[in-house]
Structure 1
Amino acid sequence: MDRFDAMRVFVRIVERRSFTRAADDLNLPRATVTDAVKALESRLGVRLLQRTTRQVAPTLEGEAFYGRCLRLIADLEDAESAFTNVNPKGPLRIEMHGTLARHLLFPRLPEFLSMYPDIELDVSEGDRYIDIVREGVDCAVRVGELRDSDLIARRLAMLPEATAASPGYCELHGIPRVPDELESGHLMVGFKSTAIGALLPLEFQQKGRVRNITLPTRVRVGGADSYLGAAMAGFGIIQAPRYRLDHYFSTGQLRLLLEGFPPLPSPVNVVYPRTRLPSPRLRAFIDWATEALAF
C-alpha cells in the first residue's frame, strides 16, 4: 500500500473511530488497515491513534496529521481529475430523510447518475440528526435551520409548509378561522425534534410576524411518517411540507387549515463537515443538487 492509500485508511479510521468500520467502508481486510497504520506510525516515529476497548481516537499528533492528510488527498484528487479528465468515481454516502429522498432526490437522480456513471450512491435515511463524520457519511441533506457550527451548508430549496388535520378531527373540534381560536379546545400531534430535544410548536405568519403556539397533545411521535399517520387518525393538528400533504388534501384524507396564516417555509441544505475537504464526487453532487433541487 502506497503512502496516499495509507493516508486514506488513516483518515477513515479517525472519522469512523473504528478499524473495523473503516475496513468495511474501504472494502479492505482489517489486518490490512491495521498494518497501514502501523507503517505510518513507524515512518513518522509518532503514535497517531489511541486504542481502547470501546473506540479509537487520534492523539494530538494524529489530529495534526489528519488535517494534513485531508488537504493532501484533496489536492491529489484535484490533480488527477484535472490532468486525466476522468469523471469523478467511487462511493458517495448521503444521509437524508426517506420521504425527502423519495419526493425530491430519486425522481431527479437518473440525470445525476447519467452524468457521473462511475459514482456509486449509498443513501441512508432517518429522522435523527447524525454525526456525519463519525457515521462515515460524505454529506447530508437536511430540512430546517442548521445548528451545527462545524458544517458547511449549500441551500437547495425552500419548502412551503401547511397546517392540516383530518376531517374527523375537524368535525369533533371545529375548523379554526384564525390562530387565536386554536387555544379553545384544539389539540396538536406532538412532534419531538431530535435537534432541540423538545416538542415543536405550531408556527403561523400573522400580521408580519411569526407566532408560535403550543397546544395540548394526546399523542407524541418522533418520526415524520408517524406524525402524518397520527394526523390522519384524528389525533390533532400538524404542520408539514406541502409536498407531503397535497396528495392527502386531494383525496380528502386531510383538510388544509388556516391557509391565510402559513408556517414559515423550511430551508433544505446539503451539508458536509468544515474539517473535511470535499472530494471531486462530493463536489459534483453538491453542484448538481444545488441546481437540480432549487425551486
Structure 2
Amino acid sequence: MNLTDELERSFGDGPVPRPVDDHLAAGRSALRRRRGVTGVVGAAAGAVALTVVLSVTGGTSPDTSPDIAADPTPTPTADTSAPAEPASAPWTDEMTVVRYRDGELEVRPGAVVHERIDNPYAYEAPQASAALDVTFEGRRSWVIATLRRPAGPSSKVEFGYSESTPSNGWASFADYVADQTDQTTGGNNGWPDTLVLTGSGDVVASPGSEILQRTDDPQLGPTFAAPGEPTGAALVTAAEDGQGYFVVWRIVEGQLDVIYTPPIDVVGATFEELLSYARMQYAGGEGLR
C-alpha cells in the first residue's frame, strides 16, 4: 500500500477552481483601486506643499510659520543734527597774520583788525586781495594779501603777502594801500634806503647807512631768484632812522629789489638765525613779503 496515495485521497477534491478570466478581472480591479488611492494622496501632498510656499513667501499665515515672521524694517530717517564745524588748519609760519584758505581770507586767531580794505587791486573772482591794519602780539603792521590764479592749465594758486611798519613813509593806512596798488609806480615799499646798486653792478650801503654783516650767496632757492641772478642778504643800519634791518636782495633785469624785515624781528636774533628763517620761508613758498 502506498501511504502517500492514501493520504491524498483522505483530503478529498476540495472546491472547484475559478476560471482564469475571473482571476484576471479581479486583479485589474485591485490595480485600479491602488492607483486611485495613490493619486489622492499625491494631490493632498501637492496642496500641502503649495500652502507652505505661500506662507513663506507671502507671510499671510503667521500661525503656520512662526519662524519666518520678522519685525518690519524701520524706514530710514534723515540726520537732522548739525554737521561738525571743520577744524581750522594750523598756521605753519610765525610771520603772516592773514592768509587765504579755500579762497576765503582768514585772520590769525588773536589778531586785532583796526581797518580793512577789500580787493584794493580790483581782481576778478576767483582772484582776491585785501589790505589790513592789524595788531598781533603787540606789534602793529599794515599788510596786503593777494590770491592770484595765473592763466594756464598747469598754473597753481599763488599767495602774495607784504607787510610794512605803520606810517613808515605814509601819512595814513589809506595812503599806504593806494601807494602799494599804484600800477604806474609799482608801489613804494616805504622802507628807508639802505642799499644801492652801483653802475658797475655792485650792491653797497646807501650814503650814511652801514652794512654790519652780509653774504652774496644766501642760498634762498629758485622761488626767490632765477639761476644766475645776483642775490644777497645783510644786516644793515639805516641812515634815515638809525634802525637795524635784516634784508635780502636780488637784481632782476638790472633793477635792485630789496626786501626788508621789520626791526622788531631783528632784535635778539643772530644773522645766521635770520638767514635760516629766510631760507625756510622761501623753501616753503611763503617768502618774506
Question: Which band: TM-score by shorter chain?
Answer: under 0.3
Which structure exhibits the higher relative contact order, with contacts defined as CA atoms closer than 8 Å and separated by 6 or more residues?
1
More helix by share: 1
TM value normalised by structure 1: 0.20
